[in-house]
Chain A
Amino acid sequence: MALPKRRHSKSRRDKRRTHDRLSSPQTTLCPQCNEPKLPHRVCLGCGTYKGKTVLEVKEI
């Protein structure tokens, strides 16, 4: 059976993993409050979608 000949160093392992990073989610700016929001989602900053109020936002 095929077996690894040498143990891979931490450096090699980590270099392989440089491509494993996650990308941050795509966001757009809310036309109402300019906060970043997810596309096709109600803005959680001001509770609007397409200029209409959909949700009441609770102040924390």
Chain B
Amino acid sequence: MRHQKAGRKLGRTSSHRKAMFRNMLTSLFEHEKIETTDAKAKELRKIAEKIVTLGKKGDLHSRRQVLRVISDKKIAKNLFDQIAPRYQSRNGGYTRIFKVGRRHGDNAPLSLIELIPEENVQKPKKRASGQQKKIAAASTAPK
């Protein structure tokens, strides 16, 4: 049974996986977007969202927790000062994945994972009005 077996191993030992995701997170927070395989992007999303949440807290403890993963102090500082504040109005969903096709050589499906850019952060408002419509539709439908 696959009970309690969430997550991908990606053909690596746990230490290899951990090191790889640390590198990938550092790159993601440095460049805002990185290209990788679909599977790695989906795993990276889980970790990156948690790091942004720590970034939004911004207290001493969360800074130390982030530095355990991102050893580059400049990049960590940029996360707290530039990246995290733009997501104050958002509860999760700080990243976005685009599927971009397949890699030459091994035909692996590639994705582009990015931190939602500043100008697009306001999107949740739309969803809220959509929900209101649904509620309105649900209240009128039974009659």
A residues bordering B, Cβ < 8 Å?
38, 40-42, 44, 49, 54-55
Q: How far is the CA of A41 from the CA of B101 in the complex (A)?
A: 7
Chosen A-B contacts, 16 in total, with CB atoms closer than 8 Å, are A40-B99, A41-B99, A41-B100, A41-B101, A42-B98, A42-B99, A42-B100, A42-B101, A42-B112, A44-B100, A44-B101, A54-B98, A54-B100, A54-B112, A55-B100, A55-B112
Interface residue ranges, B against A (CB under 8 Å): 98-101, 112
- What total count of A-B pairs have CB within 8 Å? 18
| Closest partner residue, chain A, to B120 (CB atom) | A52
**Complex contacts, A41 vs chain B, CB 8 Å:** 99-101
Q: Please state if B98 and A49 are interface contacts (CB–CB under 8 Å).
A: yes
* A42 contact set on B, CB distance < 8 A: 98-101, 112
Query: Quick one: closest B residue to A40, CB to CB?
Result: B99
Q: Which residues of A contact B101 (CB under 8 A)?
A: 38, 41-42, 44
Which chain A residues lie closer than 8 Å to B98 at the CB level?
Answer: 42, 49, 54
CA A52 – CA B99 in complex, angstroms? 14
Contacts of B100 in A (CB 8 A): 41-42, 44, 54-55
Closest residue on chain B to residue A49 by CB atoms: B98
| A49–B98 alpha-carbon span in the complex (Å) | 8
Chain A contacts for B99, CB-based, 8 A: 40-42
**Nearest chain B CB to A6's CB is how many angstroms away?**
41
Q: Which 3 A-B pairs have the closest CB atoms?
A: A42-B100, A41-B99, A42-B98
- Give the residue name and chain of the B residue nearest to A47 (CB): B100
Minimum distance in angstroms from A39 CB to a CB of chain B: 10
Measured CA separation A41–B112 after assembly (Å): 11
A43–chain B nearest beta-carbon distance, Å: 10
Question: In the complex, what's the smallest C-beta–C-beta distance from A8 to chain B, in angstroms?
Answer: 34
A42 to B101, CA, bound (A): 7
